Amino acid sequence: MKIALIQTNPVIGDLARNTAMIAARLDEARAAGCELAILPELAVSGYPPQDLLERPAFLADQERAVARLVADTRDIGVLCGVVRRHTGEFGKPLHNSAILFADGKVLATAHKRLLPTYDVFDESRYFEPARASVSVSFRGLKLGLTICEDIWNDQDLFPHRLYAGDPAADLLAEPGRRPDLLVNIAASPYHRGKGGLKRRILENICRKYAVPLCYVNQVGGQDSLLFDGNSLALDRQGREIVRGAAFAEDLVVIDSDRMEGTASPAPAMAADAELLAALVMGTRDYVRKCGFTKGLVGLSGGIDSALTAAIATRALGAENVLGVALPSPYTSQASIDDARALAANLGIRFEVIPISGVFAAHREALAPLFAGLAEDVTEQNIQARIRGNLLMALSNKFGHLLLSTGNKSEMAVGYCTLYGDMSGGLAVISDVPKGLVYELARHLNQEREIIPANTITRAPSAELAPDQFDQDDLPPYEVLDRIIAAYLEEHRTMAEIVAMGFAPDTVADVVRRIRVNEYKRKQAPMGLKVTTKAFGPGRRYPTAQNYREER
């Protein structure tokens, strides 16, 4: 039997679009001679639908869309992720389900058993878990049905397991229930380094139970989450048979009668190329799924805005990106020249709006109240907020989505201005540490210079005061980034971070800055999640709190 693995990029709630896209892909699968097609988790609604699941109208519309898809599908079996009602007398009202249908009839239904509630996930808010796993025969092939998290509880890889049960083991350890093919439909978000862990999980299942496996993953950007696709079919030794595209929709075909990984696997993406592809996809999908076609970036001449503009250009096309420099009295000519050179290298439109006059007007208006007071960060923030105001005016007038340019290092310690450089509709690199920003810039310049060399080599500066440099106020970024990663992503104590070789006062100051700037981040634009712990829905800290870790 030929089987199509179809990774789709849904728009959450656009049921007509999603089902039309599925129907078109099923036509392709039929044309390729496939008898079965496998689609991702919640493929009709898109994942995660969040509190849309609390709306009765949404649930009814999703059910009608699924019914039409089932009724209209002929000559091919389809395994598809959908929302189903829970009919039990107690429990959550819904199931995260997989249905198998063919020729207008639903043949089998399986519900997700393991419902994640960590990091960005909150599935127990909506769904009732199944109590048992399901295997079903289709045209002589017994399929073991699992949904995403159901395979993430193997005691070989997770010594401290989050769940008591292991759905994959339940299906595969009992001879009477053992499937010929284990299937996992998923909406598994991307972060750096996750691909290797996911591959180990899948390979371990195949080898331990001597079973071939098909893993079909959603692709595309959904708010802050990025889904990488990379669907896989592995043979019973865990060898790759086929792999779906990374960060793009795809349809790949396997033959259940020839489930041997004889071909050499395609080389995996290099880490920097993978991260760049994720950010480009996330930017493109967020802009377009929110109804925009064009992007706007304030170009300071610095590395962060340069990388953001380069990502936007790849995502939207040069003709759809506007770069604007807004020099203040402290902006160097080198910064303006670098911004102009970047725009030329990218082929985007470039405009200059000086803000010295507007800044002077603000100072004049405030002079009576500020009389006798020395200049401080207040005057620096006024410049940043003027820029934010002017950029938002351009966004409003021309319908361009403003892309903010702050990186994770700055966002962590509050080295950014609320209602200033934090203004915008999407924070493209807010989960990318400063050191990694430089890595991506050098990666972009491998074949030709896109980001001017001077932008990469000169010391970073906000240029909001005379002779100002980032490192006058912050530790060196290689130190800052390591402390931030240890504290935020690895959850290390301050004592453990000091033991890594960092000065106690430096560690204490960085942790203090992270804590006191929570209020800023709560008001920041949504960012694209590319690390294990991003600022956003997966990090839930109170803003008004007074916990101090003992040193």
Q: Helix (H, G, I), strand (E, B), or coil: what is residue 525?
A: coil
Q: Helix (H, G, I), strand (E, B), or coil: what is residue 185?
A: strand
Instruction: Report pLDDT digits (tens) over 507-520.
Output: 999 999 999 999 99
Q: Helix (H, G, I), strand (E, B), or coil: what is residue 544?
A: coil
Residue of 41, 149, 274, 410 marked active site: 41
- Note the pLDDT of residue 263: 55
Say whether 54 is catalytic: no
Handedness of CA 161, 162, 165, 170 (dihedral sign): negative
Q: Helix (H, G, I), strand (E, B), or coil: what is residue 43?
A: coil
Phi, psi of 111 (to 5 degrees): -110, 150
Q: Helix (H, G, I), strand (E, B), or coil: what is residue 44?
A: coil
Q: Report the C-alpha gap between 537 and 262 in whole angstroms.
A: 42
* Assigned token pair, 99: 């249905």
Q: Report the C-alpha gap between 176 and 545 in whole angstroms.
A: 55
Report CA-CA distances (Å) from 359 to 41, 330, 387. 52, 11, 10
Residue of 80, 123, 128, 148 marked active site: 148
- Note the pLDDT of residue 394: 98
Q: Report the C-alpha gap between 86 and 536 in whole angstroms.
A: 30
3-state per-residue secondary structure call for 147-167: EHHHHCCCCCCCCCCCCCCCH
Phi, psi of 222 (to 5 degrees): -135, 105
Domains present along the chain, CATH in parentheses: 2-262 (3.60.110.10), 276-470 (3.40.50.620)
β 94-102/349-352 pair status: unpaired
Residues 417, 420, 426, 430, Cα dihedral to 10°: -20
CA nearest neighbour of 28 among 82, 72, 76: 76
* Assigned token pair, 408: 């994770």
Say whether 148 is catalytic: yes
Quick count: other Cβ atoms within 10 Å of Cβ 337?
15
CA 140 to chain CA mean position, Å: 39
Say whether 198 is catalytic: no
* DSSP secondary structure letters along 380-449: HHHHHHHHHHHHHHHHHHHTPEEEE---HHHHHHT-S-TTTTT-SSEETTTTS-HHHHHHHHHHHTSSS-
Q: pLDDT truncated to tens, each residue of the chain (551 aa)?
A: 999 999 999 999 999 999 999 999 999 999 999 999 999 999 999 999 999 999 999 999 999 999 999 999 999 999 999 999 999 889 999 999 999 999 999 999 999 999 999 999 999 999 999 999 999 999 999 999 999 999 999 988 988 899 999 999 999 987 777 999 999 999 999 999 999 999 999 999 999 999 999 999 999 999 999 999 999 999 999 999 999 999 999 999 999 888 776 555 667 789 999 999 999 999 999 999 999 999 999 999 999 999 999 999 999 999 999 999 999 999 999 999 999 999 999 999 999 999 999 999 999 999 999 999 999 999 999 999 999 999 999 999 999 999 999 999 999 999 999 999 999 999 999 999 999 999 999 999 999 999 999 999 998 888 788 877 778 788 999 999 999 999 999 999 999 999 999 999 999 999 999 999 999 999 999 999 999 999 999 999 999 988 888 76
Residue of 112, 289, 408, 533 marked active site: 112
CA 542 to chain CA mean position, Å: 23
Check: CB of residue 147 under 8 Å from CB of residue 184: yes
Instruction: Report pLDDT digits (tens) over 257-284.
Output: 887 765 556 677 899 999 999 999 999 9
Phi, psi of 349 (to 5 degrees): -65, 140
Quick count: other Cβ atoms within 10 Å of Cβ 28?
14
* Assigned token pair, 89: 């007398």
Radius of gyration of the chain (CA): 26
Quick count: other Cβ atoms within 10 Å of Cβ 54?
13
